[in-house]
Chains A and B, each alone.
Chain A
Amino acid sequence: MRIDLSYAPKLNLSNYKDVNKTTDVIDYKTGQVLRSSVGMLVNYANLNEVRDRTREDDINLLANYSKELGKSSINVLGGFQYLTNYFNSISAYRQVNNFQQFEEINAYDPTGMTNGGYSNEWALMSYFGRLNYAYASKYLFEANIRYDGSSRFANGYKWGLFPSFSAAWRFSSEGFISNLSWLNNGKLRASWGELGNQSGLGSNYPFALNVATNQYTVFGGVLNPGYAPVNFALNNITWESTRMLDFGIDLGFLNGKVDLTFDWYKKDTRDILLNIAIPGVMGYANSPKQNAGSVENIGWDLSISHNNTFGDFNYRITGILSDVQNKITNLGGLAPQVNGVHVKKVGDPIDALYGYVADGYFSSFAEARAHTVAQWGKLQGGDIRYIDQLTVDTDGDGKPDAGDAKMTGDDRVVLGNPIPRYSFSLDLFGSYKGFDLAVFVQGVGKRDGYISGWLAYPFSNASTLLVQHLDRWNEANPNPNAAYPRLSINQHSNNTQASSFWQVSAAYMRLKNLQVGYTFPKTWFEKKGISGLRIYANGNNLFTMSKMPIGMDPESPESVQNSYPLIATYTFGVEVKF
């Protein structure tokens, strides 16, 4: 029996000071001050100071009890945690300073000064217990239970009970298998469990219907206080929960030369807290949190490793392959939530790529102008043509059978899945006498990326154009397979719509790391006080196979603006041990 009690207080103080200064504009020829820093635009000299204080107290109590009874072993663990958090912030702001070398509040003009301050709190309490039972190291069983309480839910909804169970059978220890010489280890595993989550709340008091005291009104030119509840809150919201079912097998062959692990799992997250609109007649404009959504993940992981030795030659190979399929199964009745080129929609992966379906280029000015579907702006040859989806039901059978001859939000469809499928890696290591070699390869078998910004649209926001943009449609060479639409100085809104045109495959394979080394025999320098000497050459990101445009990293297949391109690094080194 062992009991641990710990108390960990934490105090975090952060100070921010944001000073904006102004400077004179001087005519470089005459030295004359054209615009004085203390004249016009005086408000631009300002100072904002913020002091934040966080206090967190963490109390933990843990009791552990173990017992062996013949072939059975039992381990029981019980625990308790109480976590409280208090946050306080105050801020002060002033503007206009004619003596800008002094960066203190008092150096600024008090006219127009502002200040602010607020505090908030949260607390979490958890009870948890674990029971392990093993019989002859063959039959293994574990049960967990958690009882979590959060201050972010109203009384009556604070607590969630989350159990989990797992069992394993080490069948390789059974008599009828233990004499198989090629099988050293074999274990079947199964588990089911549930866990709570409250991270999506955004506020510390999402259940509380408060009176806002800032609903000011002006009467006779004078500020009058106004008090009203502004944001509706549902007090019956509670924990999101995730249920996970897992089956696995571990196998070891040939005296540990080959190991294999495989897992299949299904994860259901339910009661996800979403912001859902409420009827306007209730008198609130907000969309309060409700337990509504659910998401499903089904996947598997496979890992195989092998190592062996032939004389002076050692090697080890580890391969990992995994897949997951993600799907939103319930959005609480919400319409698809579109955010840029992404959508959250029932039946599709979270943040699936969403947009219009491109249908090649208009082959000529005349064809573009004769197009009967209204797209965006005045069309020319080399602009992207889109498919007008069937959205109108003309024969009344409840199924849309005609387009509406204009591109609208209804013509968008799910285009692709940005969540990687078939992720793999291969880790190789070999050594022969003093030489060693390590190779690491990783990749993704299936994933959709999307390009935008200056990488996709030449001259976007007055930017430049890239060499790949040369392969564009133009009247002299109206190539229907050109990689880019016609160039235009103003970004043509028709061609920058979220569409399948800009979707790319983000599948890739990359030689992430390669290292070659040589360790000198110890006998060479033993007497000089050196115990080891190794030289090596190392390279990162050496080689990538992918269909992404030049300059884009398939590991982050969407954001291309303001980011450094991936760099390859080469290192040569000497390791000396004394």
Chain B
Amino acid sequence: MKSLKYVTLMMLVLLTACDDAIERYPLDVPNSETFYKNEIEIQGGVNACYSFLVAGNNGYLTPEYSWDALADVVFIRGGGFAQNMLMSVTDYKDGYFRSLWLSMYQGISRCNLMLEKIETVKDKLQAEKVNQFQGEVYFLRGYYYLRLINMFGDVVYLNKTVKSVSEGKQVTRTPKADILQKIYADFDKSAELLANSTIKTSGRVTWGAAMSFKARAALQNNDWATAATAAKAVIDSKKYSLMPKYETLFTEAILNSAGNTEQILTQGHLVTANNATTFAQFTSARSVAGGYTTIVPTQNMMDSYLCTDGLDISKSPIYDKTQPYKNRDPRMKYSFVLPGDMWNGFVYETRKDKPTTLNSAGASVKNLDSYNTTEFTSFTGYLVRKYYDFKYATKLTQCENPFMLCRYAEVLLTYAEAKIELNQIDNDCIDAINLVRGRSDVNMPAIATGLSQMEMRRIVRSERKVELWNENLRYQDLLRWKRAEVVLKRPIFGRPVLGDFSLYPAVTFDEYGDPVYDETNYVPHPSTDYRILIRTNFNKDKDYLWPIPETELNLNPGLGQNTGW
């Protein structure tokens, strides 16, 4: 029995030691409870708040390439979500809705966490560091909320972190108009905190970004006075100016150059940061090994470019259907690869009856971009040139070229549009448009003075469409102008398969400068080779807002669903 006592004793010793003996924590990452205690940790935390600027990394529908596919100007072959949205056949269970919702709230939650953490260590940091950190974070929170209200309308507004699941299930939605005021407040606070910052590293938020996005937020919500004031502040600050050449504006050399005076906020990409893009894969010609040619400009976009005399192609005497790309706003040729261009060492042409093409040496070779070679060549006959860089032709999925999220030309057009809507069409307003049109390598004629508000509206809207093609503003523009119910009822076209425009009737334009196609004349005449890519069917009773995502509604039925979904 003696031994039994020893055993009992031993057991007792073991019992008391047990909890420590089975405690194990991760060996390579810190715990969030004990983190964010010094400047380096806070700096890293602030950096991580930028993670969702280009959010919804779901296939190719990331804002950089392209949110515009939800509108009439970009087509994505195989881009199921964008096409389903255009046809209004998506249901609220589609994972893309939640993907965006989650990304935005991840960004917001990180911002709120950092604002809380900065507060706890404020005394240990230099005042200008605190201003810099808070200034960046306030901007980012405003940015994420802006994208949320733009898509979902009333959303859940939180200015502190949610600690428990039960708390997360009880939140309610705040009216969009109230959130807009909070977004302004965040941008204002950011501008104030960053006003004296000396940090100008490309990609970091600055005073200019805060004011520019405030102008964008106001414009996107039809708050013209706020938009005009904020844009004017950016213009008057003289911190920015247009770069002389549109043609090179989107090249890596200019984007990374210190002398770039036009970019206001830019998203950088690196393979090592795990955020390299596949832009080149989706936009490459079929003649590039591995190129998909899935993201292409539409014929509707092509037809929207004016002729160099400032008239649209239905009115201009210098428009020639047999040479449709001649005498056009030069931004067309800077943005796209057009039939006949030398591209990747070949004369680019997708026509089915062109099985061969010429290479740069003038020799006739197999045409890898012809429909005859592959039916998966560009569905519209055009390619994307804007931002395209042959540097990535051998590493299509590892693109490191930066993309601009906001640039000065947008601020000028925001200012002009807000002034036009306020019916204050003064010289400032006209100059803003003329500056953009008159960029030295664009050189479109200045607009006439004394035009009506409606005429000015048409001009500024088509200027936005052309200048900012594929910069992720068009879809929101169509929604806020309530034009989606008109424009996104029209079919989206590609070029005729044989590329011969003279066989088709002339395009006409509506009062806002968007092309109108007389489908009965186009399609059956003389063959069916005029390509209809999507028959859009925007539902004005439903599609102006996205639905509250399925999982969110299941977890918190109190959120309620948007009308029509």
Residues in A lying within 8 Å of B, measured CB to CB: 1, 3, 61, 63, 65, 78, 80, 82, 118-125, 127, 149-152, 155, 158, 204-205, 208-221, 223-229, 234, 277-285, 333, 335, 409
- Pair B29/A211 contact, Cβ less than 8 Å: yes
- Pair B201/A219 contact, Cβ less than 8 Å: yes
Shortest distance from the beta carbon of B94 to any chain A beta carbon, whole Å: 11
Residues in chain B near residue A277, CB distance under 8 A: 551, 555
Residues in chain A near residue B273, CB distance under 8 A: 216-218, 223
Of the A-B pairs whose beta carbons lie under 8 Å apart in the complex, a sample of 27, sorted by A's number, is: A3-B7, A127-B15, A149-B18, A151-B23, A151-B24, A210-B29, A211-B29, A214-B274, A217-B48, A217-B51, A218-B268, A219-B201, A220-B268, A223-B273, A224-B47, A227-B35, A227-B41, A227-B47, A228-B110, A229-B32, A277-B551, A278-B555, A280-B105, A281-B109, A284-B109, A285-B102, A285-B103
Residues in chain B near residue A124, CB distance under 8 A: 22
Contact among A65, A158, A234 for B22, CB-based, below 8 A:
A158
A208 to B28 CA separation, bound complex (whole angstroms): 13
- Pair B202/A225 contact, Cβ less than 8 Å: no
Once A121-B27, A219-B204, A227-B48 are accepted as A-B contacts, the answer to whether A281 and B156 lie under 8 Å apart by CB is: yes
- Pair A118/B27 contact, Cβ less than 8 Å: yes
* Interface check B80, CB cutoff 8 A: no
* Interface check B549, CB cutoff 8 A: yes
Residues in chain A near residue B105, CB distance under 8 A: 280-283
- Pair B31/A211 contact, Cβ less than 8 Å: yes
- Pair A209/B32 contact, Cβ less than 8 Å: yes
- Pair A283/B108 contact, Cβ less than 8 Å: yes
Residues in chain B near residue A218, CB distance under 8 A: 203, 267-270, 273, 275, 402
* Interface check B158, CB cutoff 8 A: yes
Shortest distance from the beta carbon of B43 to any chain A beta carbon, whole Å: 8
Shortest distance from the beta carbon of B68 to any chain A beta carbon, whole Å: 23
Contact among B32, B36, B165 for A210, CB-based, below 8 A:
B32
Residues in chain B near residue A226, CB distance under 8 A: 44-45, 47-48, 50-51
* Interface check B33, CB cutoff 8 A: yes
Residues in chain B near residue A205, CB distance under 8 A: 24-26
Contact with A along B333-351 (1 / 0, CB 8 A): 0000000000000000000
Shortest distance from the beta carbon of B158 to any chain A beta carbon, whole Å: 6
- Pair A120/B27 contact, Cβ less than 8 Å: yes
Shortest distance from the beta carbon of B375 to any chain A beta carbon, whole Å: 14
- Pair A223/B168 contact, Cβ less than 8 Å: no
- Pair B202/A227 contact, Cβ less than 8 Å: no
A63 to B14 CA separation, bound complex (whole angstroms): 15
Residues in B lying within 8 Å of A, measured CB to CB: 3-4, 7, 10-11, 14-15, 18-19, 21-33, 35-36, 41, 43-45, 47-51, 93, 98, 101-103, 105-106, 108-110, 112-113, 156, 158, 161-162, 165, 168-169, 171, 201-204, 256, 267-270, 272-275, 402, 549, 551-552, 554-556
Shortest distance from the beta carbon of B123 to any chain A beta carbon, whole Å: 21
Shortest distance from the beta carbon of B72 to any chain A beta carbon, whole Å: 26
- Pair B554/A335 contact, Cβ less than 8 Å: yes
Residues in chain B near residue A78, CB distance under 8 A: 7, 11
Once A218-B268, A335-B554 are accepted as A-B contacts, the answer to whether A151 and B22 lie under 8 Å apart by CB is: yes
- Pair A282/B165 contact, Cβ less than 8 Å: yes
Q: A211-B35, A229-B32, A279-B552 provided; 8 other pairs, C-beta below 8 A?
A: A125-B22, A217-B47, A217-B50, A223-B273, A225-B47, A227-B30, A227-B44, A283-B110
Residues in chain B near residue A155, CB distance under 8 A: 19, 23
A119 to B26 CA separation, bound complex (whole angstroms): 8
Shortest distance from the beta carbon of A156 to any chain B beta carbon, whole Å: 9
A80 to B11 CA separation, bound complex (whole angstroms): 8
- Pair A216/B7 contact, Cβ less than 8 Å: no
A7 to B552 CA separation, bound complex (whole angstroms): 51
Contact among B21, B165, B275 for A216, CB-based, below 8 A:
B275
A410 to B538 CA separation, bound complex (whole angstroms): 24
Contact among B3, B25, B50 for A208, CB-based, below 8 A:
B25
Contact among A152, A209, A214, A279 for B165, CB-based, below 8 A:
A279
Residues in chain B near residue A151, CB distance under 8 A: 22-24
Contact among A61, A65, A223, A282 for B4, CB-based, below 8 A:
A65
Closest residue of chain A to B267, judged by CB? Answer: A218
Closest residue of chain B to A228, judged by CB? Answer: B48
- Pair A211/B32 contact, Cβ less than 8 Å: yes
Shortest distance from the beta carbon of A455 to any chain B beta carbon, whole Å: 29
Residues in chain A near residue B158, CB distance under 8 A: 281
- Pair B24/A118 contact, Cβ less than 8 Å: no
- Pair A122/B24 contact, Cβ less than 8 Å: yes
- Pair B7/A63 contact, Cβ less than 8 Å: yes
A277 to B33 CA separation, bound complex (whole angstroms): 22
Once A149-B18, A158-B19, A210-B32 are accepted as A-B contacts, the answer to whether A216 and B272 lie under 8 Å apart by CB is: yes
- Pair A123/B51 contact, Cβ less than 8 Å: no
Residues in chain B near residue A215, CB distance under 8 A: 44, 47-48, 51
Residues in chain A near residue B168, CB distance under 8 A: 278-279, 281-282
- Pair A283/B556 contact, Cβ less than 8 Å: no
A210 to B156 CA separation, bound complex (whole angstroms): 26
- Pair A284/B32 contact, Cβ less than 8 Å: no
The listed residue with most A CB atoms (<10 A of its CB), out of B11, B26, B35, B201, is B26
Residues in chain A near residue B31, CB distance under 8 A: 208-211
* 10 smallest beta-carbon distances between A and B, as pairs: A283-B109, A218-B268, A279-B168, A226-B48, A228-B48, A227-B44, A216-B273, A215-B48, A151-B24, A226-B47
Once A158-B19, A227-B44 are accepted as A-B contacts, the answer to whether A119 and B268 lie under 8 Å apart by CB is: no
The listed residue with most B CB atoms (<10 A of its CB), out of A155, A226, A283, is A283
Shortest distance from the beta carbon of A354 to any chain B beta carbon, whole Å: 17
Residues in chain B near residue A280, CB distance under 8 A: 98, 101-102, 105, 549, 551-552
Residues in chain A near residue B23, CB distance under 8 A: 151, 155
Closest residue of chain B to A277, judged by CB? Answer: B551
Shortest distance from the beta carbon of B376 to any chain A beta carbon, whole Å: 16
A285 to B48 CA separation, bound complex (whole angstroms): 15
Residues in chain A near residue B10, CB distance under 8 A: 61
Residues in chain B near residue A285, CB distance under 8 A: 102-103, 106
- Pair B270/A150 contact, Cβ less than 8 Å: no
A151 to B168 CA separation, bound complex (whole angstroms): 28
Once A215-B48, A218-B269 are accepted as A-B contacts, the answer to whether A282 and B109 lie under 8 Å apart by CB is: yes
Residues in chain B near residue A208, CB distance under 8 A: 25-26, 31
Shortest distance from the beta carbon of B233 to any chain A beta carbon, whole Å: 25
Once A213-B44, A281-B171 are accepted as A-B contacts, the answer to whether A82 and B21 lie under 8 Å apart by CB is: yes
Shortest distance from the beta carbon of B392 to any chain A beta carbon, whole Å: 15
Shortest distance from the beta carbon of B163 to any chain A beta carbon, whole Å: 8
Once A279-B556, A283-B106, A284-B109 are accepted as A-B contacts, the answer to whether A210 and B26 lie under 8 Å apart by CB is: yes
- Pair A221/B30 contact, Cβ less than 8 Å: no
Contact among B24, B204, B551 for A123, CB-based, below 8 A:
B24
Residues in chain A near residue B11, CB distance under 8 A: 78, 80, 127
